[in-house]
Amino acid sequence: MIADEIKLKIRDIVGSENVLDSNVDCFGYSYDSSFVPMSAENIPDLVVIPSTTKEVSAVMAIANQYGIPVTPRGTASGRTGGCIPIRGGISLALHRMTQIIELDERNMMITVEAGVRTIDVYNFCAEKGLFFPPDPASWKYSTIGGNVGENAGGMRAVKYGVTSNYVMGLEVVLADGSIINTGGKAIKNVTGYNLTQLFTGSEGTLGVITKAILRLIPMPKVRNTMQLMFPSLDNACNTIHKMLISGVVPAAAELMDKISLQAVAKHRKLDINPSIEACIVLEIDGETNEDLQEQAKKIQITANEFDVIEVRIAASQQEVDDIWAIRRGLSSAIGAMAPNRFGEDISVPRDAFPETVRLIRRIAEKNKLTIAVYGHAGDGNIHPSVLCDLSKPGEEQQVHDAIDEIFAAALSVGGTLSGEHGIGITKRPHIAKALGEAGVNTLKMVKQVFDPNGILNPGKIW
Amino acid sequence: MKNTDIQKYFKEVDDIVSQCDRCGTCLTVCPLFGVKDIESSSARGKNNIARGMIQGVVKPSAEVLDIVNFCLLCRTCVDNCPSKVKTDNAMIVIRQYFAEKNGSPGIKYKALGGLMKNRTLVKFSAGTLKILRKIGMNTLIPHGMAPSEFTRKQYLSSFAGPAALGSLAATSPIDLSNKSKVAYFKGCGMGMMFPDAVEGTLAILRTLTEPQIIDNMCCGLPHLAHGLRSDFLDMAKENISLFEKADVIVSDCASCSGTLKHIAAHFTDDPAWQERAAAFSRKIMGISEYLFQVGYKPQHRVDVKMTFHEPCHLGRGQGVRKQPRQLLTAAGKFIEMAGADNCCGGAGSFHIDYPAIAQSILDKKRINIENSGAHIVVSECPTCLVQLNKAAVQSGNKFKVMHISQVI
């Protein structure tokens, strides 16, 4: 509960039309895109929608003074419950901070407020021939603040890296309301600790990110898409490894297993050759069409070495869209296969991809569950989807066991719990296994320094 | 309400809303979220408050009903949703649940439903409006519900010169000798507010066939949308019976044609009506859909820039998109405006219930129309025409608003 006089102070700061406190309005801020069940306990006491850094700062000062939990939120497209206010308090919705402050073409950097949608950053830069590569699946609706807070990845990571590779500097409001600026436009910068990278991926637990300076690269002139079908997962993975080692780096290398393919086939009423065990969708880019043809040729030669069944090189934009529609429609297609679905986000060394998928197969058999596997094969980020029906007695336990085992499998091959979704609430129970007790304690010590009263997004990560 | 009824409604809703992955795609396209960006405005917000209610996390209160009523039923979210969650259907079922839980959908919707279920009253309203128009008092009716209709005659004299007025309707190349029996379905909104357009539709149909004029009931959309399902079903049965002899049923109102096409879905568990309803739904066509199919050639081509506002219930509701545009391309200088398929904010009685929000949505539409440079904005739905007429006045009459049957 937040006392009325505190609410009044907050209303004075942001304007009363930008504060919601009815139960049904606040309910809308109690969930995200994860599978965390709905609960009355997750409903914030107050939703505050600031428009400026100054407002964020003043709200934080009050929250800190009265010890009110504050959970920052972009558009709640996160997959691990990161923006769910599990201790109540304030849901700080930043989606109205949508100013693009500056596009510095000579330095190839853009400065934006936290609430700008990722696709808007991309489009704004693209108009000037500049490229902001990170493209998490949610990029059409996620905010850049959320992407930085979670250090989101995406399909282009294999060639271009993840969000953190593009964050040059941040404006952050600390727990007590003070405003700091980290990093900047200087490419070489060793003045003090690298706080920019510390805040990136901190899941709203260390400060509220209000602005970001992002690095850009020149936009590739041409792009094309390829689809390759293989008789085994190993052959598909081996093709990717050999390609990368030989210097052919695709802009995206997405892999789907047979179950995923069957889901898409069913959803889109397609016929797929039953001998196909794995499918790779590649995006290639470059300077000229000859450049693309050269890459496609090299890829085809490599794929042939690994008994590729089918190679499709898109000949038109329509074909490009058709191929990507299969990959983009995957999540919904898999979701439609069962009443409940638990999507995970483990990340392993690239070479361990096939081994990890084999381990996941065994886990599925052991727990009598269907687990569809797809992911970013180029960077070792795997999305196993456990399909289930929680209304069946005993199934919930099997699912939990399977997920525990999937995490153990990832760690056993030298991988980790999350590649791009963050830890949030859903992976919290597993973090000690990944980082060790001393590792978790180190995180806690960092948190203590930035947020001594523990008001920023409490109850997350560990 | 019996517990089993609650279970039935909740199951129907849950089957829809549990498909929502909560990703947030709808936030970027929902016209309401576009003007009031809080979660409960969006389809995700609505689907999840429904889920919360079913799971007992939020109580079924008047506030929840307000959120459920605050929906245009425009299906923009459905079209863009990766899982194609039918938010509009879920909202209709919850409204029905609340109407039965509270014993009534509320005085306002009950009165509206009562009026539109009564053929005499509908005709009476149309007559009253005619008189008001004659004496110039129609502008005093609030919410633009008594628009000044720009007639085909006025259109031709303004844009084509007087010579065009005398020209006869061109004969359609369609062979009329062994034609199927075509009936006209007269929507309440068309009859009450746009009599010149109704005349236009009938005149066009008469160039092709001898349309049956049937004294039909309301299509029932206002009832269905606001928790008066049994009225909807009663009228649907009456309409099914009235039109049994027709082979094709043409409506010049997108909301009517859209609703009637979907009537079959409401009788799937009623063996007595199931087949008759399905047969009825199969016969329904929107006016531009029908005219396009029979190869109708517009009666005149006028050198005027025109654009098309695509009603939600025509494009997303029925997949009829190219037909009106092709007809307009033949009738004038057709220009596609930006966001032609964005909802205009009319949405049945939404613009009366939420005037400020509807106005903000309409402002975006008006700007798109103005930017297109069109002199005429054409549509195929009376509620859209009401909204667009307001926009025309607000733009200082930079453009005129017409039904498609008045320009082709």
Cα dist from A372 to A282, A425, B14, B118, whole Å: 20, 23, 25, 56
What pLDDT is attached to residue B175?
45
CB of A76 less than 8 A from some CB of B: yes
- Which chain B residues touch A38 with a CB distance below 8 Å? 48, 51-52, 55, 57
Same domain, A80 and A115: no
Split at pLDDT 50, 70, 90, the class of B125 is confident
Most confident of A28-32, A233-237, B226-230: A28-32
In chain B, residues with a C-beta closer than 8 Å to the C-beta of A117 are: 28
Give SS3 for A290.
Answer: helix
Write out pLDDT tens, residues B296-353.
988 888 889 999 999 999 999 899 999 999 999 999 999 999 999 999 999 888 998 8
| Band of residue B174 on the pLDDT scale cut at 50, 70, 90 | very low
When pLDDT is cut at 50, 70 and 90, the band that residue B169 belongs to is very low
Q: How does strand B333-334 pair with strand B305-308? A: parallel
State whether residue A315 sits within 8 Å of chain B by CB.
no
Q: Chain A, 322-341: which have a CB under 8 Å from a chain B CB?
A: 328-329, 331-332, 335-336, 339
Rounded to an integer, what distance in angstroms lies between the CA atom of residue B362 and that of residue B143? 13
The answer to whether A31 contacts chain B (CB < 8 Å) is yes
Last residue of a domain, one of A47, A67, A93: A93
Say yes or no: A241 and A205 in one domain. no
Search chain A and give the residue with CA nearest B81: A332
Considering only CB atoms, which residues of chain B are within 8 Å of chain A? Answer: 18-19, 21-25, 27-28, 37-40, 45, 48-49, 51-52, 55, 57-58, 61, 63-64, 67, 82-83
**Residue at A455 is within a domain:** no
Q: In chain B, whose CA is at the least distance from the CA of A48?
A: B38
**A80 in contact with B, Cβ within 8 Å:** no
Q: Which of A31, A32, A329 sits opposite B82 (nearest CB)?
A: A329
Tell me: pLDDT of A172 over 70: yes
Considering only CB atoms, which chain A residues are within 8 Å of B67? Answer: 24
Report the pLDDT value the prediction gives residue B164, as an integer from 0 to 100: 43
Q: What is the ipTM of this complex?
A: 0.93
Could you say which of A49, A76, A141 has the minimum Cβ distance to residue B25? A141
The pLDDT assigned to B159 comes to 67
User: pLDDT tens digit string along A289-320?
Assistant: 999 999 999 999 999 999 999 999 999 999 99
What residue of B is the nearest CA neighbor of A41? B57
Q: Do B82 and A142 touch (CB under 8 A)?
A: no
CA distance A89 to A204: 14
Look at B57 and A47 and tell me if their CB atoms are within 8 Å: no
Range of the domain at A269: 222-332
List pLDDT tens digits, range B256-270: 999 999 998 889 889
Q: How far is it, in rounded angstroms, from Cα A71 to Cα A211?
A: 17
Distance between CA B46 and CA B60 in Å, rounded? 13
Predicted pLDDT of residue B108: 75
Closest chain A CA to residue B42: A28
- Three-state SS letters, A390-440: CCCCCHHHHHHHHHHHHHHHHHHCCCECCCCCCCCCCCHHHHHHHHHHHHH
Which domain CATH number covers A244?
Answer: 3.30.70.3450
Whether residue A436 lies inside any domain: the answer is: no
How much is the pLDDT for B136? 65
Among A208-222, B69-83, B153-167, name the one with the lowest average pLDDT. B153-167
Query: What was the pLDDT predicted at B40?
Result: 96
Considering chain A, what percentage of its residues have pLDDT values greater than 70? 100
Q: Residue B24 and residue A24: Cβ atoms within 8 Å?
A: no
Across the interface, do B82 and A95 touch by the CB < 8 Å criterion?
no
**Per-residue pLDDT at A451 exceeds 90:** yes
Question: Quick one: pLDDT at residue A359?
Answer: 95
Closest CA–CA distance from residue A182 to any residue of chain B (Å): 30
**CA gap B110, A140 in Å, rounded:** 41
Report whether pLDDT(B171) > 60: no
Tell me whether A71 touches chain B (CB under 8 Å): no
For the cut 70, the answer to whether the pLDDT of residue A14 exceeds it is yes
- If you average pLDDT over every residue of chain B, what do you get? 87
Contact B82 A332 (CB under 8 A): yes
Same domain, A277 and A345: no
- Do A380 and A313 lie in one domain? The reply is no
With an 8 Å Cβ cutoff, are B57 and A39 in contact? yes
- Please check the confidence at residue B157 and state whether its pLDDT lies above 50: yes
- Residue B193, pLDDT score: 87
Residue A168 pLDDT: 98
Q: Are B311 and B319 in contact (CB under 8 A)?
A: no
**CB contacts < 8 Å between A and B, how many?**
79
In CATH terms, B3-103 corresponds, of 2.40.170.20, 1.10.1060.10, 3.40.190.10, 1.20.120.1200, to: 1.10.1060.10
Look at residue B269 in the predicted model and tell me its pLDDT.
87
- Three-state DSSP state, A37: coil
Is residue A430 included in any domain, yes or no?
Answer: no
Residues of chain A in contact with residue B55, where contact means CB-CB under 8 angstroms, are 38
> At which of A70, A93, A116 does a domain end?
A93
Q: Spell out the domain ranges in chain B.
A: 3-103, 297-406
Mean pLDDT score, A68-76: 98
Report the chain B residue with the minimal C-alpha distance to residue A343. B21
Contact B21 A20 (CB under 8 A): no
Give chain B positions within 8 Å (CB) of A25.
38-40
Which domain-ending residue is among A290, A314, A332? Answer: A332
Q: What is the pLDDT of residues A390-412, one digit of tens each?
A: 888 989 999 999 999 999 999 99
- Measured at the CA of B353, the angle between CA B351 and CA B359, to 5 degrees, comes to 35
Backbone angles phi, psi at A250, to 5 degrees: -75, 155
Query: Which of the residues A20, A23, A24 would you substitute to probe the B interface, choosing the one with the greatest number of B C-beta atoms within 10 Å?
Result: A24
More confident call, B146 vs A166: A166
CATH code for the structural domain at B297-406: 3.40.50
Q: Across the interface, which of B23, B38, B58 has its CB nearest the CB of A33?
A: B23
In a domain, A372, yes or no: yes
Residue B151 confidence (pLDDT): 80
Q: For residue B301, what pLDDT is reported?
A: 87
Which CATH number is A14's domain given?
3.30.43.10
A38·B22 Cβ contact <8 A: no
Nearest to B40 among A28, A38, A142 (CB): A28
Q: Are A386 and A396 in contact (CB under 8 A)?
A: no
Report residue B166's pLDDT band, with 50, 70 and 90 as the boundaries. Answer: very low
Tell me: do A214 and A229 sit in the same domain.
no
Mean pLDDT, chain A, integer: 95
Q: Could B21 and A33 be called an inter-chain contact, meaning their C-beta atoms sit closer than 8 Å?
A: yes
CATH number for the domain harbouring residue A415 = 3.30.70.2740
A227 inside 8 A of chain B by CB? no
Phi-psi region of B190 (alpha: psi -120 to 50; beta: other; left: phi over 0): alpha
The percent of residues above 90 in pLDDT, for chain B, comes to 61
Report the domain count for chain A: 4
A50: left (phi over 0), alpha (psi -120 to 50) or beta: beta
User: What DSSP character marks residue B263?
Assistant: G
